[in-house]
Amino acid sequence: MARVQLRNLEKVYGGSVKAVHGINLDIEDGEFMVFVGPSGCAKSTTLRMIAGLEDITGGEVIIGDQRVNDLPPGKRSIAMVFQNYALYPHMKVRGNLAFGLKIAGKSKPEIETAIADVARILEIEPLLDRLPKQLSGGQAQRVALGRALIKKPSVFLFDEPLSNLDAKLRASMRVRITELHRRLKGEGLSSTVIYVTHDQTEAMTMGDRICVMQAGRIMQVATPKELYNHPANLFVAGFIGSPEMNLLEGNLQGGHFVIGSQRLTLGDEVLSRLSTQPRDAVLGIRPQHLALDPSGLKARLTNAEFMGHEVYLHAELEGQKIIAVVGTAEFEQLGRTETIGLKPSAEHINIFDKADGSNVSLHRHRLAA
């Protein structure tokens, strides 16, 4: 079992800089958990405390059934892959893969079998006799992955492993890593993954669940779909999704959302989902959930970005910026107009309390449950 539990985990650097503020999190055996958040939010610090590379100031890290706070990294059954994959430059790929096993005192035949297995899985057989400097970025990263894999750890820890690769390679490595995870799981191997990234696309495409962090605190832990459809607060709403969710400030008044001189009738679909009705509120709607409709909110079109099968419309609504993603054909029917109508799809409206940023609109499926 390689469940990972964080209990009131805290980190204070240098006696005064509080980096992690008492985090609680359960990561299931075999789960692919992503830590995502802006630079400096303490993703690496948290991961390094799990790995044993950083002292724990307070709280506990439990791997399997064991409290590991006082265990050295080598005794935690973890393997870590970093952004700068740090292969030993003077050793061939084969030597890099063998290194950890040699230290662990494995026999030569055992090591050779393990290398052959890992090389096959990662398709690096032709590279075994090359030096790191003879590898491309993607190849080197696969070797780094192999070096982690060969240890057969219970938990894989990744810290921004793809950040040094170009966009195309990043996209293919993303798929490779999730496939590898699925495959290990399929073979009955325990393969819990904790994957740190600042890139919300990586988080959304790779994670079974995502832990969104800000300034050393957890803002929400949920599946990608849940985060996308129902962000718990304004921070998550703004962080997850591309282009970003529109967050329009206004007031809730008698079943309407009032923005400047315009009123949007919310209707039962939305009103029935509200747990409270704060006066100062923020209406969250994704650009994909706005339709061109003359009866919608009036906005002044400022720019249109042609993306192929869709167009990103940038507009201004009562002094606030708004983005809509519409089909190219729809856009072309607009003609030369400056004022457009934008209608939010009711079921996709999220309402936030402006005072504390919390989402006060419940999910429909939650209501049904």
Contact positions vs Mg ion (CB under 5 A): 44
Count interface residues toward ligand ADP (CB under 6 A). Answer: 12
Q: Which two structure tokens, joined as six digits, stand for 213?
A: 């962090």
The yes or no reply on residue 45 touching ligand ADP (CB under 6 A) is yes
Which run of H or of E encompasses 116? helix 108-122
The yes or no reply on residue 13 touching ligand ADP (CB under 6 A) is yes
Distances (CA, A) of 112 to 68, 128, 179: 31, 12, 24
**Contact positions with ligand ADP (CB under 6 A) in 275-304:** none
- Cβ distance to ligand ADP smaller for residue 14 or 319: 14
Q: How far is the CB of 234 from Mg ion (least distance, A)?
A: 23
Residue 65 gets which letter from DSSP? T
The yes or no reply on residue 178 touching ligand ADP (CB under 6 A) is no
Measured between alpha carbons, how far is 369 from 362 in angstroms, rounded to an integer?
11
264, β-bridge pairs:
257
- Cβ distance to Mg ion smaller for residue 213 or 281: 213
Measured between alpha carbons, how far is 25 from 27 in angstroms, rounded to an integer?
6
Q: Which two structure tokens, joined as six digits, stand for 70?
A: 């006082």
The yes or no reply on residue 203 touching ligand ADP (CB under 6 A) is no
The correct pick among 2, 9, 31, 43 for binding ligand ADP (CB under 6 A) is 43
- Cβ distance to ligand ADP smaller for residue 81 or 119: 81
249, β-bridge pairs:
282
The correct pick among 44, 229, 233, 350 for binding ligand ADP (CB under 6 A) is 44
Q: Which residues contact 96 (CB under 8 A, 6 or more apart)?
A: 87, 88, 132, 143, 147
Q: How far is the CB of 266 from ligand ADP (least distance, A)?
A: 37
Measured between alpha carbons, how far is 363 from 229 in angstroms, rounded to an integer?
8
Q: How far is the CB of 14 from ligand ADP (least distance, A)?
A: 6
Interface ranges with ligand ADP (CB under 6 A)? 13-14, 17, 19, 37, 39-45
